[in-house]
Structure 1
Amino acid sequence: MRSHNPTLAMVLSIIFAGLGQLYNRRYAKGITFIIIEAAFLITFFEFLNIGYWGLFTLGEIPRVDHSIFLLIQGLISVIITVFAVAIYYLNVVDARNNAIDLKLGKEKPTVKEALKNFYDNGFPYFMVIPGLILLLFIVVLPLMFMVSLAFTDYNLYNTPPRALLSWVGFENFTSLVSIPLWKSTFVSVFAWTIVWTVCATTGQIALGLFLALLVNDPRIKYKRFIRTILILPWAVPAFVTILIFAAMFNDRFGAINRDILSTIGVALPWLTDPFYTKIAIIMIQTWLGFPFVFALFTGVLQSISKDWYEAADVDGGTRFQKFRFITMPHLLFATAPLLIMQYAGNFNNFNIIYLFNQGGPAVRGQNAGGSDILISWVYKLTFDTSNYNMAAAISIILGLIVAGFAFFQFRRTRSFKEEGNI
């Protein structure tokens, strides 16, 4: 078989799947590839044709073409095409490799040997495919749809099927920094989101660390009872706690103003003034988040060897030096990834913002509430004002910020650089 041509086998497989295998005298495999491609073309040709037409045009006749359905069909067509191209690529590579083996004089494997080779090398991939397909249609497709909406003019005044959507490029993103209403709102909400994330998360971490160090002190008695009490806020569902605090912080009849601050003649506008609303939700999040951090740090503190503290005492180390050079490095080494996720989680913490005061109070000259963060603003743009295009654009920015921050911090933490070492 020295005259066997791998290039010809590859070209035949490119022309139509399976022809290269037939040229290599792998008839069963060749017929299988031919049937797969023929079935694919018969089944999906019309679907893909309409899908790609709809993806590029988003429809041509109002009230007849539905831009959203055409967009979704187009995105599904892209996913199907990617799968088809992957299988086609495998077909071409297989034909070329088989042709090379024949040219080198290697014996053609029997059906039993081919099945065994597939089981040894391809079976794990074959088992992963159903989960991968499910992931694509449950996670990737909605993300692709959201990203696509950010580049259209889909809003309350331009809604299919009454009107057709159009691709507008980066117009929605430029509107966030050029149109005064959007610019002032975006800058204000983005700045508050950063402040909220840093203050609330740092507060709950600091409180959890302080209480963990306090309870871990050998002079403290009844440690189990104290730990149980401190964990209790974590046991209560967060939405219940938030609603209770919302009632307690009510300006007129809440317990904070009526029973506590009234004793010194003070009544603060917790729900009607943006500044006090922000203070309230930072305190509530500190209360909600510290039990997890407390439990996390408590476990790590108990794993630190007492010999190191004894050696520090011998060397004359102070309490602060022991905390700085022994306690804190071990705490951060073991918990840094989880602490980073605390920041990322609070950056998108929709529940407390919406349940406490629905992102209010209202702010003049903005289309977001005084305590809205990016994620709650996106919710309002989607369900209250139907600004789907702007909501999608902000969601992309939000996702890029969280992903970039998490990736950067995870790469820099020692837990990843020195994995497996202490």
Structure 2
Amino acid sequence: MENKMQSKIPLSKAIAAGDIQTKLSIPFMGLGIFLKGQKIKGCLIFLLEVAFVLYMATSGGYALSMLPSLGNSAQQKVWNEAKQIYEYSAGDNSQLILLSGIVTCFVIVGFILLWIMQIKQAYRLQLQKENNVHVKTFAEDIRSLFDENLHITLMSLPCIGILVFNIVPLVYMISMAFTSYSKEDNHLQLFGWNGLVQFQRVLNFGGNIGRQFWHVLAWTVVWALVATFLNYVMGMILAMIINRKETKAKGFWRFCFVLSIAVPQFVSLMIMNIMLQPSGAINVLLQNHGLISGPLPFFTDAMWARVTIILINLWVGIPYTMLQVTGILQNIPSELYEAARMDGAGPVKIFMKITLPYMLFVTTPYLITSFVGNINNFNVIYLLSGGGPTYVGDTAGQTDLLVTWLYKLTIDQQYYNLGAVIGILTFVILTVVTLVTYRRSKSYKNEEAFM
């Protein structure tokens, strides 16, 4: 019977098998708990119901009623005859209406969950009384939050933080993709729902926005693959060279390469941007020595800009991989190498059969996170080329990634609905690629292979 009381109780069973006191919890939250001895908890739950009713009767109900339209009254200019001036009526603010409506929906969901939980708790207390089991007092419930239920105490604040700072803004951003919220037709204050119109614009090959999206997506994938592959391979080669027994002063060489990490990336990239300008130090130096007749188009030509960004990213990214790989190389059992040499294996075969498989097995999660990080590598692109060069009439430059284009669409050009669509598509692409790649990797399928 004790296991029955501790197990999960279906709501339908709690309502059907509950006594009159338990059933009173259906219209009056906390009443069943109050009548069964937990008076303070019952009162607190009832106060939450009262607070919910008051909220819905005041601002919550209005926010929910305005959610389908997102507002109807636009800002208007009205002539004040007495003051002989024009005055502006505020009008509806669709941003606040949308946010308030979403928050109200979350409040309703939370209220429903609390309603279900308190009915189940009332039925659980009913079973305890029927079987002469001790019913905890409010003080005992509080003490349990620091003992057997400590996990609830520790996880409450992080879960609230995730809800407030992650989930609610995410739902708000997703909702924005289905609206007309942009500077087009002056829909920055008052806008409405327009369904999948923005998704059609983005995914349409023939449209201007669609053409730019597929172009930016292709470059984003190429950039992420090339940057991840080159950083990984060259970082691994560098780590293996430094890690050789013949290499002297290993600590010194590692220190030299780690300097690029020690210097803030913002500073490094801004300096490189200044040096590679048409009138920057590198072009001036090359022209003064007669090596070039005119400035090299590091950031004014699309191909030059892409190659330049990839090379500078190597300078920034290789040391990270070197540090990751160094620790892994030092943990590969030396017995494997000795046995391979005794069998007559050469350096190349040892690398292909021992080092590389071990490295790939251990670093697959790192490769996935590096790929995702490069897709979202805002700093390198924005601080070096600013996404340019940009053709006339386009909102995306030739080196823009999805994340930098999203920034331009929202912050610079106020196409908030298009930016939300780009954000959703980026999230979907990254989620699918990450999950599929990791679940198909040996790191996931055979966790104990190298243990």
TM-score, normalised to structure 1, is 0.90
Deviation, 1:117, is 5.2
Q: List per-residue Cα deviations over 1:369-404 (Å, max 9, x = no partner).
A: 111111111111112211110011011101111222
**What is the rounded CA distance, in whole Å, between the counterparts of 2:138 and 2:213 in structure 1?**
63
| 1:176 lines up with 2:188 in the alignment | no
* CA deviation after TM superposition for structure 1 residue 51, in Å: 2.0
**Which whole-Å CA distance do the structure 2 matches of 1:243 and 1:215 have between them?**
30
Kindly state the Cα deviation for residue 112 of structure 1 after the two structures are TM-superposed: 6.0
- Equivalent residue, structure 2, for 1:193: 220
User: CA contact under 8 A between 1:184 and 1:366: conserved in structure 2?
Assistant: no
Q: Is the 8 A contact 1:344 1:402 kept in 2?
A: yes
CA shift in 2, pair 1:245/1:117, >3 Å: closer
Give the alignment partner of residue 245 of structure 1, picking from 258, 272, 291: 272
Q: Distance in 2 between matches of 1:28 and 1:348?
A: 50
- Root mean square deviation of aligned Cα: 2.6
Match of 1:137 among 158, 164, 173: 164
Relative contact order higher in (CA < 8 Å, ≥ 6 apart): 1
> Displacement of 1:113 after TM fit?
5.4
Where does residue 152 of structure 2 map in the other structure? 125
2:231, 2:321 within 8 Å by CA — same for their partners in 1? Answer: yes
Fraction of identical pairs, as percent: 31
CA deviation map 1:111-132 (0-9, x unaligned): 6655555654444314432332
Q: CA deviation at 1:185?
A: 0.5
Q: Could you say if the C-alpha distance between residues 355 and 97 of structure 1 is closer, same or farther in structure 2, counting changes exceeding 3 Å?
A: same
Distance 1:364 1:110, change over 3 A: closer
User: Is 1:322 paired with 2:350?
Assistant: yes
Q: 2:125 aligns with which of 98, 103, 113?
A: 98
Unaligned runs of 5+ in 1: none
In structure 1, the residue matched to 2:45 is 33
**Runs of 4+ in structure 1 displaced over 6 angstroms?**
none
Q: Which aligned pairs between 1:286-297 and structure 2 lie closer than 5 A?
A: 286-297=314-325
Task: Answer with 176-185 or 88-97: which moved more.
Answer: 176-185
Output the CA distance in 2 between the equivalents of 1:114 and 1:217: 61
1:280 paired to 2:292: no
Alignment partner of 1:215 is 2:242: yes
Unpaired runs of 5+ residues, structure 2, are 1-15, 76-90
Paired with 2:165 and 2:381, the residues of 1 have a C-alpha distance of 27
Matched, 1:271 2:271: no
Q: Does 1:229 align with 2:256?
A: yes
Q: Does 2:191 correspond to 1:165? A: yes
Matched ranges for 1:385-400 at <5 A: 385-400=413-428
Cα distance in 1 between the residues matched to 2:314 and 2:446: 31
- Residue by residue over 1:180-219, the C-alpha shift from the partner in whole angstroms, topping out at 9 and shown as x without a partner, is 2012111111101111111112111111011111111222
Is the deviation greater in 356-365 or in 187-196? 356-365
CA offset digits 1:229-252 (Å, max 9, x no partner): 122211111122212222332234
Cα distance change on mapping 1:285 and 1:111 into 2, 3 Å: closer
**In the aligned structure 1, how far is the partner of 2:142 from the partner of 2:285?**
78
Equivalent residues of 2:389, 2:398 under 8 A apart: yes
Aligned to 1:14, the other structure's residue is in SS state coil
Map of 1:253-268 to 2, 5 A cutoff?
253-255=280-282, 258-259=285-286, 262-263=290-291, 268=296
How many pairs were matched up? 418
Q: Which has the higher helix share?
A: 1
Is 1:50 matched with 2:62? Answer: yes
Contact 1:17 1:33 in 2 (8 A): yes
Most deviating of 13-22 and 342-351: 13-22
Change (3 A) 1:254 1:134: same
CA distance in 2, matches of 1:175, 1:9: 57
> How much has 1:413 moved relative to structure 2?
3.6
The whole-number CA distance in structure 2 between the counterparts of 1:117 and 1:235 is 47
Report the CA distance between 1:134 and its aligned residue: 2.4
SS in 2 for 1:56: coil
The alignment's TM-score, normalised by the length of structure 2, stands at 0.85
